[in-house]
Amino acid sequence: MRPTVLGLSATSLLWGLAFLFDPRLSLHHRLPHPLIMFILHWSIGIALIYPFRATRWAGLAMCATATYYALMVKPFEPIAEPQTVGIAALSAFVTFVSIPRVSRLSEENSWLAGLLGLLFRGGIAYPFFEWGLDAYRNPAHFKHYITENSSALLVASIFGLDTTVYLIFAVELALAVMLVSDRLHRATGIISAALLTLFTIVAGYPLALPQNITLIAASLEYVRLDGKLVTSST
């Protein structure tokens, strides 16, 4: 089973638990009752790692749910952040490659394989693009967050606050471009996974967990594929 599917499953299961234990999620007027969302996310999470025939429907449900969060709820931790857009794209990718006809066609048609690859890489790249652009347009927000987070401040002290915000802008936008353009596969995937892991450790819940799990898994899969898209669910 491909790492991205496992990552999506873990994200959905943890989102379900968040609806039970994070009281803020019961207050948003565009979210149904937490118990309903718990059942939905656990159903999706379990179905994703169930036999192949269930994967496409679970992927479609995850894509629809994440798209709703991104369009109607965002920004709202921990379910509607920039990562949510990437999760929607990766869920769509999993849905398409879980359909045997699409999988076979992608092996015969390079343009379809290219579109699926772009969907996969774009799902990883989008959060970096939004974070990098936000760091450029709103550096004061990032400086405030860093100074309020002791772990982030410790990392920023290595370079200085202003330089750290500039590096967030430059590195993350460059990484997004590299991912979309499909260059230096191994290095790009490793850097992506490392940055997401660092962000997860520094930010913790709710800003980074559980949504970063899918992106880290997809980044590691990108490293494993080394630019060779595998359009099957395994």
How far is the C-alpha of 217 from the C-alpha of 219, rounded, in Å? 5
What CA–CA distances, in Å, run from 60 to 33, 34, 54, 67, 125?
21, 21, 10, 10, 20
Please state whether the predicted TM-score (pTM) of the whole model is above 0.85: yes
- At 119, the amino acid letter reads L
What does the pLDDT look like over 125-143, one tens digit per residue? 999 999 999 999 999 999 9
Q: Cis before residue 210, ω within 30 degrees of 0?
A: yes
Interatomic CA distance for residues 108 and 116, integer angstroms: 13
Q: How confident is the model at residue 19, as a pLDDT? A: 96
Segment 16-45, tens digit of pLDDT? 999 999 999 988 999 999 999 999 999 999
Tens of pLDDT, residue by residue over 147-170, are 999 999 999 999 999 999 999 999
How far apart (Å, rounded) are the C-alpha atoms in residues 66 and 71?
9
Give the integer Cα–Cα distance in Å for 224 and 160.
35
CA–CA separation, 132 and 185 (whole Å): 20
The packing angle between helices 110-137 and 161-181, to 10°, is 170
